[in-house]
Chain A
Amino acid sequence: MDRLSFEVEEGEVFGILGPNGAGKTTTIRMLACIVSPSGGSAKVAGYDIVKESVNVRKSVGILTENPSLYERLSAVENLEFFAKAYGITDGQRVSERIKELLDFFQLWDRRNERVATFSKGMKQKLAIARAIVHDPPILLLDEPTAGLDPEASKLIRNLIERLGSLERHTVLLCTHRLEDAERLCDRVMIISRGASKVVGTTKELRNRMGGHPKLEVTLREVTREVVDKVRGIESVEGVEVDEGSARLLVAANDVEAVAPYVVRALVNAGAMVTGVSVFLPSLEEAYLKLVRET
């Protein structure tokens, strides 16, 4: 890592994006006190990751790159082992928690079967259950929807949303799936080669890297006259023309406010308007642009 520095607020869902080898998994491992930093410091749940590593591990639930499940044990046995390893000694509480998790992940019917017989998606769900069996305040999730079908992915996304917004768990989410980051994360950090490149909400990142939202107007035919009419509007900052698809991209400080003026100017100039929408720069474009730059 290269002087990585960031803060995550309590109850926040914070995403870490980056290309392969950027240091996402290493960051998670350091914060979970599995590997030691070569320099610098960090606190997780108020505990120093070097001096108070046991307390950090008690406060954290981690979903690792590999599911890390004991395949010769059953689903219940895996969860029982890790519940005890995380200090839950009350048998009744362990049983109730395991039932709650296996019910949620739709694994209750397979609870006594060996994990070796599970599909990849089922193992991933069980691994997430293992990460939250002790109900930790902080979750470190490394690619939680990797290998899951759309239905299971939706289940996990709903769970993360619930853990973050309703139950106020703090979630650190490493993912390649930008749609997950856009949907789930309050803020996102893009890292590359061990260093943080940009941190912000997904909207801020889109605007910063991809520019502000633009007004997309589709016409039946684009002529020079109609383009000049739009450029003449006071609050319009610029107009991009795509003659092939007869599309104009109008840049303005407030696209929603300028939209009626643009449409009126086009109609008065004799243009046939077939569609008007707000064009948002995507997180994917912002991410790719940033990654290419580094």
Chain B
Amino acid sequence: MLITVMLPLIIILVPAMMTIPGTSFNIPTTMFENLPLEVKLEIAGMNATQQIVYIFALYFFAPFFLIIPIMASSVLASDSFAGEKDRKTIEALLATPLTDGELLLGKILVSFIPSMLVTFLAFVAYSAVVDITAFALFGGRTLLPNLLWFALIFIVTPAVALAGIGVTVIVSVRVKGFREAQQLSALLVLPVMLLIFSEVGGLLMFGPTMLAMLIVGFVVLDLIVFKLGTSLFRREEILVKSI
């Protein structure tokens, strides 16, 4: 949460305090060149400071919001089954008539709901800080929220979160204890970091096309992860690993 407040403050206030040459554009050239045409048109009439603030606040930091639910859910998701094994409560749970799918879904939702709440609150805080600090810079115009960010926060982020949490819960089923599950779940941020670095390097840019690809890709991945989870769910193995 602190990051979603501090980051926009930094990206908006620092350029505003620095002297930005009027016609030069000091963010990485490749990143600027790879901006979608519609974005280039959006920033065409802006000065250099406005362009930096606009690009960073609305596009560059967007993928960071994909990390928030993964990080926020890592402890809960890792603890889902591994914690039950550690605390010797798994046997009574496995003895209930809850189906494998119900058990998995229940454990996923326990992590998903709070992580999405955190993400939504972070988005509200981020939007508020961006709009308040950029208000004067853009002549009273607010930047967030916009349609792209609504899609990011309410469609893409949940889909990414479900995939990440689903994988962590599956890991939690398979490992012996909580520590092992949490260490392995930390690897999940790597794909998102790859996305961020690709953006910095100008290979990708957050925009409608990328958003559409992420939605389709992650919805399919969510279904695959759930199917995989139910097929890998073996009560006997879970119990043996808890002994």
| Chain A residues packing against B (C-beta within 8 Å) | 29, 32-36, 54-55, 57-58, 60, 62, 64-66, 68-71, 82, 85-87, 127, 130
Contact = CB atoms under 8 A, between A and B. Distances in A.
Which secondary structure dominates where chain A touches chain B?
Answer: loop
B89 interface: yes
Interface in B74-130: 87-99
B239 A34 contact: yes
Instruction: Among B93, B94, B99, B236, find the residue whose CB has the most chain A CB atoms closer than 10 A.
Output: B94
Contacts, number: 52
A32 B88 CA distance: 17
A86 B236 contact: no
A68 B88 contact: yes
B89 A57 contact: no
A62 B95 contact: yes
B92 A62 contact: yes
Contacts of A60: 95
Contacts of A130: 92
A34 B235 contact: yes
Nearest to A59: B97
Nearest to A68: B92
Contacts of B94: 34
Given A35-B235, A68-B92, A57 B97 contact: yes
A64 B94 CA distance: 11
B97 A85 contact: yes
Nearest to A61: B95
A57 B235 contact: no
B89 to A, nearest CB: 5
A106 B75 CA distance: 37
Given A54-B99, A62-B95, A86-B96, A29 B87 contact: no
Cβ-closest 9 pairs across A and B: A68-B92, A85-B96, A57-B97, A35-B236, A58-B97, A66-B88, A64-B91, A62-B95, A68-B89
Instruction: Among B94, B95, B96, B235, find the residue whose CB has the most chain A CB atoms closer than 10 A.
Output: B95
A86 to B, nearest CB: 6
Contacts of B89: 68-70
Contacts of B99: 54
Contacts of B92: 62, 64, 68-69, 82, 127, 130
Contacts of B95: 32-34, 57, 60, 62, 64
